[in-house]
Amino acid sequence: MFKELDPLLHSQLRLAVISLLIGLEEADFTFIKEKTGATSGNLSVQIDKLEKAKYISVVKTFKGKRPLTTCRITTEGISAFEKYVSNLKTYLNK
């Protein structure tokens, strides 16, 4: 039986962001941008969606004079990712 995949995670960039953050304690916006190869605009939008869903927490500060956006995965985000991977397996076993 196929299990439904979380639409919030079943999107290339959002899944890439969550997959990066799952292995990290925290990461800067520039790090995520470099690793995912996304544009700043698109990444901002997707990070905002993940934050609204409480899958990640975002803290905006300054490093010197430059703005610094730091993201970390939340426990809800970890659960959602684990559920997504587990549901993904139901498609692979068929």
Partner 1 sequence: MKTVESIQLIESMILEVKRDFSYNGFHFLLWGWLVMLAAVVNYILLNYVGYSNHWVGWPILMSIGGIITVVVTLRDKKSRRAQTILNRVMGQLWLTVIIGIVVVLFLMPQIGILNTYPIFVLLYGIGTFATGRIIKFTPLIIGGALCFVLAVVSAYQSFSNQLIIIALAILVSYIIPGHLLYNKYQKNV
Residues in the site for partner 1, rule: CB under 8 A? 5, 10-12, 15-16, 19-20, 22-28, 30-31, 35-36, 85, 88, 91-92
- We find the least distance from the C-beta atom of residue 54 to partner 1, in angstroms, to be 20
Q: What distance in Å separates the CA atoms of residue 15 and residue 90, rounded to the nearest whole number?
A: 18
Helix axes 12-21, 29-36, angle to 10 degrees: 120
Indicate the residue among 19 and 74 with the shorter CB distance to partner 1.
19
The DSSP 8-state label assigned to residue 39 in this structure reads -
- We find the least distance from the C-beta atom of residue 78 to partner 1, in angstroms, to be 12
26 — phi, psi (to 5°)? -160, 160
- We find the least distance from the C-beta atom of residue 48 to partner 1, in angstroms, to be 20
